[in-house]
Amino acid sequence: SPRVVIIGAGIVGANLADELTARGWDRVTVLDQGPLPLTGGSTSHAPGLVFQTNASKTMTEFARYTVEKFLALDVDGAWCFNQVGGLEVATTPERLTDLHRRQGWATAWGIEGRVVDPDECAALHPLLDRDRVLGGFHTPTDGLAKAFRAVVALARRAEARGARFQGSTRVTGIESSGGRVTGVRTDGGVVPADVVVSCAGFWGPAVGAMVGMAVPLLPLAHQFVWTGQVAELAGRNDELTEAGLPILRHQDRDLYYREKGDRLGIGSYAHRPMPVELGDLPEGDVTDAAMPSMLPFTEEDFAEPWEHSRQLLPSLRGTKVDSGFNGVFSFTPDGGPLIGESPDVAGFWIAEAVWVTHSAGVARSVAQLLVEGRSEIDLHGCDVARFEEVQLGAEYVRETAQQNFVEVYDVLHPLEPRRSPRDLRVSPFSARQRELGAVFLEVAGWERPHWYEANAGLLDELPAEWVPPERDDWAARHWSPIAAAEAWRTRTAVALYDMTPLKRLEVSGPGALDLLQRLTTGQMDKSVGSVTYTLALDEAAGVRSDLTVARLGEQLFQVGANGNLDLDHLRRQAPADGSVQIRDITGGTCCIGLWGPRARDLVQRVTSDDLSNAGLKYFRAKRVRIGGVPVTAMRLSYVGELGWELYTSAEHGLRLWDALWEAGQDLGVIAAGRAAFNSLRLEKGYRSWGHDMTTEHDPYEAGLGFAVRKQEGFVGSTVLAGRGEDTVRRRLCCLTVDDGRSVVLGHEPVYLDGRPAGYVTSAAFGHTVGRPIAYAWLPASAGVGTAVEIQYFDRRVRATVAAEPLVDPEMTRIRG
């Protein structure tokens, strides 16, 4: 097996050594700058609360594996996981409501948990002031990880399989040759390696810099205290068990609690964000009470949290804060961990910004990536390549990571807009969009209109059958009924959609065709001017992306992609001989989706090119002039209407917009936003990668078998042989909501015969069909007509599996 050096012997590094050696990679060396086993990193003082439930399925699965793994670990009979359960309490009505949503996530991802009343909260955690609590979310399988002890147990196990742990060895540089890692330089000499994985925690950016790799995390301090003896806890626990009460979260005040003997530990996010410079960390010997990851306690920041703690847990009035510190750990721009390989130095990997909670799960996935080439769990929200270049800047990381710290326990809507930084990336149409009162939400740094206030007047003209039902408070956030008017105009007249933020790549050169043939499921060897919807699979035939590939020349392809992960993947897969060039052309170009039954009437007024059905067939592309501007027109539509994606370079964008806008006035042209778009795409059954399907699903399960060519020779093809629509055990299904009005938003559990059987991926109100739509993963046995229930907060919403697509199954509209 290859020689592996792991930098960092914290909970992530130790787990990784264990997972690699369990897979037979026994030449593993773990280096740490600190002494062993107490290195002085975040793990050395981690209080170890493990709350598994998360909006993200991946994060929840990481946590579930950590629980399962640590339960089976011990050091000389002493526990590494104490399954005391978890209790999140609500002291405000808004929080209580949200606990039901959290309970829904738990159910969707297979974690048992219940929302309980104040009496049961008090019974579960007798220190609680019952009268302050409105209810709680109880998860019996949550608990306390003894992170530091788990490191010892994991290191012993890995060492027994051949791994070596070496402390007091600082890595000062990474050795490489010909773009491949060859070893690490340390203060004690060079250690040769074929693979290096940095598990350096909040030191990650410093280690990444050794290979020029941006590691977008910010070290932040976070307060933790131990109280003195709490009289009510005296005699409850012996030294070995330590704790019996559930771990507790008081999210309304940004606080959490754990028991230890007869004392309580309290963690607080209720203070100002405190970014930490690595150079300011304490130096000197590492002890329980002094280490680089522990900064002096700033008492004034804990005054209010202490008061709030004594209100929630009145027994604390009889004690005081015994000791406290400001502990250092990592925050990232989107809260996710950072996993991945350097784009420049092959064999250099990172696994950082990982909580104890997710540590075993992350390590298992990284070991799978290294040994088997693929993680069984979807990692798109963890891959460090998910960030756009502008998001890797120190300013961006600093601002967004601090915002995540502040919001860590906030009730966040799925569409919650980032407040800052904004206007990082704007399309050339931005000025016009603002004039039209665009309401922007941010994605990957882009400002993307969700609807236009200028269209509010259309609500008066809206035919009765298009008037959307009232929404509940939650579903009405970051939404407007104007979306209904925009959908109506798209289906009955014509609309402009700004598609600029969609990632666009140019793939060119003599090897371009072969590369795309190998990496995607579609037939790419078609005539110039053809456009193909295709899938990129991984080796196990999991869907790693869906792409729209236009052949613009013999050796020139334009690829519509999902994000930076596609760019990263293509670059890594491109042959080393320079026969393929891959360029991200997103920022230098722009795109208008011109869609609706009057789209052709409109465009013909501003072009002399032939855009008739004969002149440009469905799924064909050609270069034309519109309003004098050179445009690549592609005959496609995500909304299922006649029309084109019109691409031009950024400097021509405004001119193109104005030409279409002016020419379309008497045809009823409008600008339409993302809210209408999402509704229209779901009515047509168009999947959104990352939401509806990921690497965890194959094309047939996702309902994308049509995009798979029958020949062999593409990545994943051998695995797909013998599979088909009829062999799948689960399927992405289209549901419509029976009452015609209850809109759900995604990530809700779906019940079949009263039992949890799947979860919602994307959802929207279908304005054309006059009822809410939800796509959901369900067992394949749930055929068309099957009755199901969707859990929305504390309600069950009846829905039915529908035949898809709901609109225009004969494709007469789109083929115009």
Given the residues 222, 271, 308, 380, the one annotated as active site: 222
Structural element, H or E, at residue 762: strand 755-766
DSSP 8-state class, residue 752: E
Q: Does 48 help bind ligand FAD (rule: CB under 6 A)?
A: yes
**Which residue, 11 or 621, has its beta carbon nearer to ligand FAD?**
11
Q: Does 482 help bind ligand FAD (rule: CB under 6 A)?
A: no
**Which residue, 217 or 715, has its beta carbon nearer to ligand FAD?**
217
Kindly indicate which of the ranges 229-237, 351-359, 486-494, 600-608 contains the residues binding ligand FAD, using the contact rule CB under 6 A: 351-359
- Closest distance between ligand FAD and the C-beta of residue 307, in Å? 20
Kindly indicate which of the ranges 195-203, 226-234, 522-530, 569-577 contains the residues binding ligand FAD, using the contact rule CB under 6 A: 195-203
Whole-angstrom distance, CA of residue 810 vs CA of residue 276 = 60
**Which residue, 51 or 689, has its beta carbon nearer to ligand FAD?**
51
**Which residue, 11 or 196, has its beta carbon nearer to ligand FAD?**
11
Question: CA torsion angle for 114, 120, 121, 127 (degrees, to 10)?
Answer: -150
**Interacting positions 7-46 with ligand FAD (CB under 6 A):** 7-13, 31-34, 39-43, 46
**Which residue, 349 or 595, has its beta carbon nearer to ligand FAD?**
349
Helix 482-492 with 674-684: angle, nearest 10 deg: 60
- Closest distance between ligand FAD and the C-beta of residue 490, in Å? 46
Closest of 620, 521, 630, 506 to residue 556, by C-alpha: 506
- Closest distance between ligand FAD and the C-beta of residue 67, in Å? 11
Given the residues 142, 250, 254, 256, the one annotated as active site: 256
- Closest distance between ligand FAD and the C-beta of residue 242, in Å? 14
Q: Does 170 help bind ligand FAD (rule: CB under 6 A)?
A: yes
Instruction: Please tell me whether residue 707 adopts helix, strand or coil conformation.
Output: helix
Expressed in angstroms, the distance from the first to the final Cα of the chain is 59
Q: Does 349 help bind ligand FAD (rule: CB under 6 A)?
A: no
- Closest distance between ligand FAD and the C-beta of residue 396, in Å? 21
Whole-angstrom distance, CA of residue 553 vs CA of residue 551 = 6
The alpha carbon of 307 is separated from its chain's Cα centroid by a whole number of angstroms, namely 36
- Closest distance between ligand FAD and the C-beta of residue 207, in Å? 5
Kindly indicate which of the ranges 236-244, 321-329, 363-371, 507-515 contains the residues binding ligand FAD, using the contact rule CB under 6 A: 321-329
Kindly indicate which of the ranges 352-360, 402-410, 456-464, 687-695 contains the residues binding ligand FAD, using the contact rule CB under 6 A: 352-360
Cβ-contact 551, 530 below 8 angstroms = yes
**Interacting positions 694-723 with ligand FAD (CB under 6 A):** none
Other CB atoms within 10 Å distance of the CB of residue 679: 25
Question: CA torsion angle for 90, 91, 93, 95 (degrees, to 10)?
Answer: -40
The CB-based long-range contact list for 462-468 (8 Å cut-off, 24+ gap) reads 462/488, 463/488, 465/770, 466/767, 466/770, 468/765, 468/767
**Which residue, 42 or 97, has its beta carbon nearer to ligand FAD?**
42
**Beta-sheet pairing, 4-7 with 28-31:** parallel
Per-residue mark of binding to ligand FAD, 254-283 (x: CB under 6 A) = -------------x----------------
Q: Where are the alpha helices (DSSP H) in 196-243?
A: 204-208
Q: Does 286 help bind ligand FAD (rule: CB under 6 A)?
A: no
- Closest distance between ligand FAD and the C-beta of residue 247, in Å? 8
Considering only residues 261, 327, 542, 758, which one is a binding residue for ligand FAD as defined by CB under 6 A? Answer: 327
Q: Does 479 help bind ligand FAD (rule: CB under 6 A)?
A: no
Whole-angstrom distance, CA of residue 717 vs CA of residue 667 = 47
User: Annotated catalytic, 222?
Assistant: yes
The residue to which tokens 């060039």 are assigned: 581
**Which residue, 364 or 489, has its beta carbon nearer to ligand FAD?**
364
Other CB atoms within 10 Å distance of the CB of residue 262: 17
Q: How many CA atoms lie within 13 A of 410 on its CB side?
A: 11
**Which residue, 42 or 562, has its beta carbon nearer to ligand FAD?**
42
- Closest distance between ligand FAD and the C-beta of residue 83, in Å? 15
By CB under 6 A, the count of residues binding ligand FAD is 40
Kindly indicate which of the ranges 4-12, 580-588, 620-628, 689-697 contains the residues binding ligand FAD, using the contact rule CB under 6 A: 4-12
Q: Which whole-number Å values give the CA distances from 551 to 405, 526, 561, 677, 719, in the listed order?
A: 45, 8, 14, 26, 27
**Which residue, 356 or 633, has its beta carbon nearer to ligand FAD?**
356
Per-residue mark of binding to ligand FAD, 120-159 (x: CB under 6 A) = ---------------------------x------------
Query: E-assigned strands of 193-342?
Result: 195-198, 218-227, 247-250, 255-260, 263-268, 274-275, 294-295, 321-331, 338-341
Whole-angstrom distance, CA of residue 567 vs CA of residue 503 = 9
Whole-angstrom distance, CA of residue 342 vs CA of residue 211 = 8
Considering only residues 47, 85, 273, 640, which one is a binding residue for ligand FAD as defined by CB under 6 A? Answer: 47
Q: Alpha-carbon torsion 136, 141, 144, 148, what sign?
A: negative
What does the longest C-alpha to C-alpha distance in the chain come to?
A: 88
Q: Does 337 help bind ligand FAD (rule: CB under 6 A)?
A: no
Considering only residues 225, 264, 354, 631, which one is a binding residue for ligand FAD as defined by CB under 6 A? Answer: 354
- Closest distance between ligand FAD and the C-beta of residue 171, in Å? 4
Given the residues 18, 546, 584, 698, the one annotated as active site: 546
**Chain residues in the site for ligand FAD (CB under 6 A):** 7-13, 31-34, 39-43, 46-49, 147, 170-171, 199-201, 203, 207, 222, 224, 267, 293, 327-329, 352, 354-357
Catalytic residues, by residue number, are 222, 256, 546
